[in-house]
Amino acid sequence: MKHIFILLRRSFQLVILIPLLAGCWSSRDIEKLDLLIGVGVDTAQEENITSSYYGADSLLTVTYQMAKIKSNQGQNTKKQEDKPYTNVEQTGASLIETAREIIQLRKNTVNGQHQRLIIISREVAENRSIREILDFFIREPEARMSMLVMITDGLAKDILDYMETDDIPSMHIYDITENFDKSNKLLERKSLAKINALMEAQASFILQNVVQTDGELKLSGAAVIKGSTLKLIGFLTEEELKGINWITAQTNGAIVKVEEEGSDKPIIYEQELLKSKITPTIEDDKLSFQVKVKSEGLIIEVATNTESFSEEKTRRKLEEQIAEEIKKEIQTTLERIQKDLQVDVIGFHDYVRIKYPEFWKEHQSDWDTIFSQAPIDYEVQITITDFGLGIQN
Amino acid sequence: MNPQQENLISPAQAIIIIINYILGVGILTLPRALADEVGTPDIWITILISSIFPLAVGFIILMLNNRYPKKTFYQYSYKIVGRILSIIICLSMVIYFITLTSFEVRILAEVTETYLLEDTPIQILIILFLWLTLYLNVDGLNSIARMFQIIFPLTVFIFILLALMSLGLFELKNLRPVLGGGIGPVLKGIKTTSLSYIGIEILIILSAFLTDPKKGKKVVFVGVLMPTIFYLVTIVIVIGALSLDGVGNLTWPTITLIHSFEFPGIFFERYDSLFLTIWILQIFATISITLYAASLGLSQLFNKEIKTFMYILLPVAFFISMLPQNLQQAFSLGDMLGNAAILLFGIIPIMLLVLSFLRRKHS
């Protein structure tokens, strides 16, 4: 009797261990995954509309870009049109619907854990709040909040299907953004995590614009999203982006060209250090800003035969000339965003929120209006520390 | 049989037990809960202020325990309030501990299902974790303590690593202005935060097991200080990176933060799994100790072997953990537990302490 009892107990113990065998319940083989790298969102292209179930104007054409995982590396004949990626286009009223459509086309499961990029076309962003488009990516646990959000002037599907390099376009674009440190014509990386915060705060912001020029992809200028509607209201050019980068002082990649008096030949200043300080002031209930930009750098290219730069007077003059040039760039940008677009895309609101919390609470809802009327003073201070390796005779 | 005799733990082990118990669900949800409640970036001040309460509770329980050395609350409470009342209080505590086990294991399974094992049924996850808990429990408090000694350094290491990695997203402006809305909003968050300090109540049994009962005060102090540091760091990096507005709509802001940075060039890309590993270990620690506390309560009340009750309580814990229909209900179960903790371990010990003073005087 006792033996039977022990036997029963043993077998019971074994039975309850069975679920443990399902340890890899959710495992998926990597060959059976489609790694999603980028997503492009366009308004529905006419040829794609198959059903008139939804109003056609609210339909989206979504391009899913997936990396091709080469299963047999040994294949030697590399065909000309062998792209390292596959694009799948689907049309539907919401992103998840289009994502589900893919299941009917592809034998593999789509895995979104490596998605780097989402590109929204101008047409979509002008007509819809971009919150609607991005919501899915915020909710979906598979999607990473580090993905970058960009706008394109043209069609997102074209951007995702350019042929010049044997790179994956989404990865290519993602990698270009790393150059922000070397160029002030680019925009600081805007990941979904940061954009989510801006959208929740109803703040206006700018997104990198991607364009296609002569078969090349280029990050050029920025799209302006208005906080109250979260819709696209305009674009900033590369030159206008420079002004923003002077004020935010996040990049060290600026060069400034000034012309020598008389000869019109260029002298070029390369910035090495940039600091800026924004101070809001409220006097008699009137808000104004003081912006101080300080930069240090060197003269990197000279096409003139100026007498010695080492002379204090020449250097001072040059510094002033450069400062004037930068002021001009800042002025152009400020005029554009204050007068034309009337939105605070630089983040002046943060300084007001920190220094005048009461004022901010009161005026938070119509901040863009207040900002566009606030006078902004700016001064630029340049120090030339170096003349490169070439010594002027 | 008295399980205390062979199961003494050192003060250092007691500290680690308290830390592992306190750190739990809060570390994932506290930034959002507090951001909603407080509405200014000063929520880190809230954490500092709130840490006074667990300290107070800890010291009160300690004072009460010191009047009855080498005995757990379950064993001495009848001397203060009499048999019947004592049974009611102790049973409520047992119910509290077992519900807490269920709540934590449910959240554990929910997060695991969302981020790691999408297709695995939640029941399987819960059952597996509960079995592991049982396995750790059957050898008593000492082996639990030794397990925690392994878990804790790992947690600290990975936590610091991830905190440093997310510094790239950190922006000081998100934490400013300090006290821009005055002290008022800061105080609003105190209750929410106090719930994250659930865990200090384990002292009602723990101090009886101490090899060196005189070090009780140190145990309470360090045991509360360390989780406070963990919470502070978490809040500061999460709010600093995602901003106050940015965490409001996120279910698990801390995991989202880890989803938000990338280090190009490193083969390993998904740091959230690293974080989830230590978090799962922390929850596992919590449910181990709560299951033990509940079983010990029943065993000392009915004077029976503790293992029996562990086996009995396991399906009970599973059953309760399946009660919430969705995540929202699970969160409200958590809030209920918080309120119950305030009553059971905040208010009742003070009353008992006063009563026991009065009794002593009479006799």
Which residues 2-31 on chain A approach chain B with CB closer than 8 angstroms?
16, 19-20, 22, 25-26
Summarised one tens digit per residue, pLDDT across range A189-200 is 888 988 998 998
Cis preceding linkage at A280, omega within 30: no
Alpha carbon distance B16, B8 (integer Å): 14
Asked if residue B2 has pLDDT above 60, the reply is no
User: In 3D, which of A39, A34, A47 has the Cα closest to residue A159?
Assistant: A39
Of A192, A198, A350, the CB nearest to B173: A350
- Band (pLDDT 50/70/90 cuts) for residue B6 is low
* A186-210: average pLDDT: 89
Q: List all residues 6 or more positions away from A1 whose beta carbon is below 8 Å from its beta carbon.
A: none
| Residues in chain B within 8 Å Cβ distance of A197 | 242-243, 245-246
User: In 3D, which of B319, B245, B317, B280 has the Cα closest to residue B25?
Assistant: B280
Tell if the CB–CB gap between B177 and A353 is shorter than 8 Å: yes
| Residues in chain A within 8 Å Cβ distance of B180 | 353-354, 357
Element (H, E) at B56: helix B52-66
Q: Does B127 touch chain A (CB under 8 A)?
A: yes
For residue A72, the tally of other CB atoms under 10 A from its CB is 5
- The answer to whether the beta carbons of residues A60 and A93 sit under 8 Å apart is yes
Mean pLDDT taken over chain A: 83
Summarised one tens digit per residue, pLDDT across range B86-98 is 899 999 999 999 9
- Model ipTM value: 0.80
**Across the strands, what pairs with B133?**
none
Asked if residue A28 has pLDDT above 80, the reply is no
Q: Does A231 touch chain B (CB under 8 A)?
A: no
* A264-275 CB burial, b ≥16 within 10 A, e <16: eeebbbbbeebe
Residue type, B231: Y
SS3 B250: coil
Listing from the earlier edge strand, what are the strands of the sheet with A266-283? A255-259, A266-283, A286-302, A376-386
For residue A300, what pLDDT is reported?
Answer: 81
Alpha carbon distance B298, B95 (integer Å): 10
* B82-88: average pLDDT: 88
Burial of residue B178 (CB within 10 Å: 0-12, 13-18, 19+) is exposed
- Band (pLDDT 50/70/90 cuts) for residue B69 is confident
Alpha carbon distance A213, A217 (integer Å): 6
> What percentage of chain A has pLDDT greater than the value 90?
11
**Tokens (6 digits) for B349:** 């010990």
Q: Does B66 touch chain A (CB under 8 A)?
A: no
- Band (pLDDT 50/70/90 cuts) for residue B228 is very high
Of B117, B177, B262, the CB nearest to A146: B262
Between the alpha carbon of residue A377 and those of residues A122, A282, A284, A290, A291, the distances in Å are: 33, 14, 18, 5, 6
Mutate to test the interface with A, among B245, B251, B255, B275 (most CBs of A within 10 A): B245
Mutate to test the interface with A, among B250, B258, B327 (most CBs of A within 10 A): B250
Of A191, A200, A361, the CB nearest to B248: A200
**Tokens (6 digits) for A231:** 């819709």
For residue A39, what pLDDT is reported?
Answer: 92
User: In 3D, which of A178, A175, A167, A176 has the Cα closest to residue A67?
Assistant: A167
Tell if the CB–CB gap between A200 and B169 is shorter than 8 Å: no
SS3 B263: coil
Residue in this structure with the two tokens 């596959």, named with its chain if needed? A86
Alpha carbon distance B360, B363 (integer Å): 5
Q: Does A109 touch chain B (CB under 8 A)?
A: no
| Residues in chain A within 8 Å Cβ distance of B115 | 141
For residue B213, what pLDDT is reported?
Answer: 80
Residue type, B35: A
Tell if the CB–CB gap between B127 and A196 is shorter than 8 Å: no
Alpha carbon distance A84, A166 (integer Å): 7
Asked if residue A305 has pLDDT above 80, the reply is no
**Tokens (6 digits) for B48:** 């500092």
- Band (pLDDT 50/70/90 cuts) for residue A121 is very high
Summarised one tens digit per residue, pLDDT across range A251-278 is 888 888 888 776 778 888 888 888 999 9
Between the alpha carbon of residue A83 and those of residues A69, A156, A217, the distances in Å are: 11, 18, 16
Tell if the CB–CB gap between B120 and A197 is shorter than 8 Å: no
For residue A163, what pLDDT is reported?
Answer: 67
SS3 A347: coil
Residue of A nearest to B124 (CA): A19
Asked if residue B31 has pLDDT above 80, the reply is yes
| Residues in chain A within 8 Å Cβ distance of B124 | 19, 22, 25
Residue of A nearest to B177 (CA): A354
| Residues in chain B within 8 Å Cβ distance of A19 | 124, 127-128
Alpha carbon distance B276, B255 (integer Å): 8
> What percentage of chain A has pLDDT greater than the value 70?
87
For residue B266, what pLDDT is reported?
Answer: 63
- Band (pLDDT 50/70/90 cuts) for residue A72 is low
| Residues in chain B within 8 Å Cβ distance of A357 | 177, 180-181
For residue A393, what pLDDT is reported?
Answer: 47
Asked if residue A296 has pLDDT above 70, the reply is yes
For residue A22, what pLDDT is reported?
Answer: 62
Asked if residue A35 has pLDDT above 80, the reply is yes
Summarised one tens digit per residue, pLDDT across range B293-333 is 999 999 988 888 888 899 999 999 999 999 998 888 988 99
Residue type, B19: I
Asked if residue A54 has pLDDT above 70, the reply is no
- The answer to whether the beta carbons of residues B53 and B197 sit under 8 Å apart is yes
Q: Does B117 touch chain A (CB under 8 A)?
A: yes
Total count of residues recorded for chain A:
393
Q: List all residues 6 or more positions away from A371 whose beta carbon is below 8 Å from its beta carbon.
A: A338, A342, A343, A344, A348, A349
Q: Does A178 touch chain B (CB under 8 A)?
A: yes
End-to-end CA distance of chain B: 31
Alpha carbon distance A332, A324 (integer Å): 12
- A201 to chain B, minimum CA–CA distance in Å? 6
- Band (pLDDT 50/70/90 cuts) for residue A98 is confident
Alpha carbon distance A109, B245 (integer Å): 34
SS3 A317: helix
For residue A309, what pLDDT is reported?
Answer: 66
Q: Does B243 touch chain A (CB under 8 A)?
A: yes
- The answer to whether the beta carbons of residues A147 and A117 sit under 8 Å apart is yes
* B141-164: average pLDDT: 89
pTM of the predicted protein model: 0.84
| Residues in chain A within 8 Å Cβ distance of B177 | 353-355, 357
- A114 to chain B, minimum CA–CA distance in Å? 8
For residue A327, the tally of other CB atoms under 10 A from its CB is 16
Q: List all residues 6 or more positions away from B53 whose beta carbon is below 8 Å from its beta carbon.
A: B190, B194, B197, B346
DSSP A292: E
Q: Does B131 touch chain A (CB under 8 A)?
A: yes
Asked if residue A351 has pLDDT above 60, the reply is yes
Residue of A nearest to B127 (CA): A19
Alpha carbon distance B203, B349 (integer Å): 11
- B37 to chain A, minimum CA–CA distance in Å? 16
Most confident of A54-58, A73-77, B227-231: B227-231
For residue B1, what pLDDT is reported?
Answer: 42
For residue A278, the tally of other CB atoms under 10 A from its CB is 21
* A134-163: average pLDDT: 87
Tell if the CB–CB gap between A354 and B119 is shorter than 8 Å: no
**Tokens (6 digits) for B46:** 């809230």
- Band (pLDDT 50/70/90 cuts) for residue A158 is confident
- The answer to whether the beta carbons of residues A158 and A79 sit under 8 Å apart is no
Asked if residue A391 has pLDDT above 70, the reply is no
CB pairs below 8 Å between A and B: how many? 75
Alpha carbon distance A177, A183 (integer Å): 10
Residue of B nearest to A135 (CA): B249
Residue in this structure with the two tokens 């399902």, named with its chain if needed? A22
Of B119, B177, B262, the CB nearest to A25: B119
